[in-house]
Amino acid sequence: MAGFGKSPWILHYDASSCNGCDIETLACLTPLFDVERLGVVNTGNPKHADIFLVTGAVNEQSKSVIRNLYEQMPEPKAVVAVGACACTGGIFRQCYNISGGVDGVIPVDVYVPGCAARPEAIIDGVVKAVQVLEHKHRAMKSNANRDQAVYLPADPEDAPEILALQRIAYRLHEELYGGEENVPPLVQTLPELTGEFGQTRFVKAVVNGKLIGSARAHPNDHAAEVSRIMVHPYFQGRGIGRRLLGEIEQSLQHDVKLFETAVGGKSEENMAWLQRQGYQIVQIMPAAPADTRVHLRKERA
Ligand code: SF4
């Protein structure tokens, strides 16, 4: 993964900057500094970005945008707060509409001070972010290879992490189903998810204190509805989903004899995966918009 060092891709977002820091950021791309000759690419797509570079203080409107962009970026990723405003709120931090720096919304890895931050300092911050990225990548790789995942029951305190994982894990479905409004896991709110804890059992997979997988089941008499078996994309293909499914099924009372689940008709990979885990298709129902809902079932062994 030497690609990080050779060509980090950057996503630049102006949270509510006075434009001073943005001009300095763009100056890094002009012929005087020309960071592109070093392989640094300014991309507009969060799904292609390694480094999230944020300028300006955070206000109520930019909060959700920052979170949304951050969640769409693949792991590993690094965040650079550029300028006093992005670091702490700067001269605007006591304004009625400013909530502070970027680290109040997402974790920040590198702080570049200055008002405005100078291009040399911004380039220095990006170089530091590349080191952070390489470190994160090494840590993730070693954890993933050793599969040190621990499987535990989840509680309501895990809800924010589960929701963040859910938004990452289901992001691919957005294109498949024509927008996030058609993918319930992408529009679920934190209060809704927290409210599920009363009736629904949750299990989580944790690697080094970080939640990387989750599954849930809603028991109903002798059957249970199993849903949202999800694993962070970086940890997929290592048997963690299979283990989560086993854990959630085991966690249910023994009088639950039937496990039921359902997937969208276009989610062929998920359907095939469930069939490999012993689930059988029992019903295909029409579902809006222009889709079907496939119901699967498995009896307790
Ligand atoms: S740090 Fe200074 S230049 Fe940068 S956005 Fe804030 S006020 Fe503007």
DSSP 149-214: -EEEE--GGGHHHHHHHHHHHTHHHHHHTTSGGG-HHHH--HHHHHHHTTT-EEEEEEETTEEEEE
Mutation choice for ligand 1 from 12, 13, 16, 17, CB with most ligand atoms inside 8 A? 17
Please tell me the least confidently modeled range out of 74-78, 116-120, 123-127. 74-78
Q: How far is the CA of 21 from the centre of ligand 1 (A)?
A: 5
* pLDDT bucket at 83, cuts 50 / 70 / 90: very high
* pLDDT bucket at 266, cuts 50 / 70 / 90: confident
pLDDT of 129 reads: 94
pLDDT of 209 reads: 75
Whether the per-residue pLDDT at 37 is higher than 90: the answer is no
Whether the per-residue pLDDT at 147 is higher than 70: the answer is no
Pocket of ligand 1 (CB under 6 A): 17-18, 20-21, 55-56, 83-85, 90-91, 115-116
Q: Rounded to whole angstroms, what are the CA distances from 24 to 33, 36, 86, 185? A: 11, 15, 14, 39
- Hey, which of 108-117, 162-171, 283-292 has the most confident mean pLDDT? 108-117
The residues pairing with 220 across neighbouring beta strands, listed in sequence order, are 223
User: Rounded to two decimals, what is the model's pTM?
Assistant: 0.57
Using a pLDDT cut of 90, give the percent of the chain over it: 51
Contacting residues for 99 by C-beta, under 8 A, at least 6 apart:
57, 58, 59, 60, 63, 89, 105
* pLDDT bucket at 4, cuts 50 / 70 / 90: low
The residues pairing with 215 across neighbouring beta strands, listed in sequence order, are 203
Q: What whole-number distance in Å separates Cα of residue 111 and Cα of residue 75?
A: 20
* pLDDT bucket at 289, cuts 50 / 70 / 90: low
Q: Summarize the confidence of residues 65-71 as an average pLDDT.
A: 89
pLDDT greater at residue 37 or residue 272: 272
Mutation choice for ligand 1 from 16, 18, 111, CB with most ligand atoms inside 8 A? 18
pLDDT of 1 reads: 44
Q: How far is the CA of 85 from the centre of ligand 1 (A)?
A: 6
Nearest alpha-carbon partner for 295 in 279, 278, 276: 279
Q: Which two tokens stand for residue 227?
A: 């849903």
Amino acid at 50: D
Whether the per-residue pLDDT at 124 is higher than 90: the answer is yes
pLDDT of 171 reads: 81
Q: How far is the CA of 101 from the centre of ligand 1 (A)?
A: 12
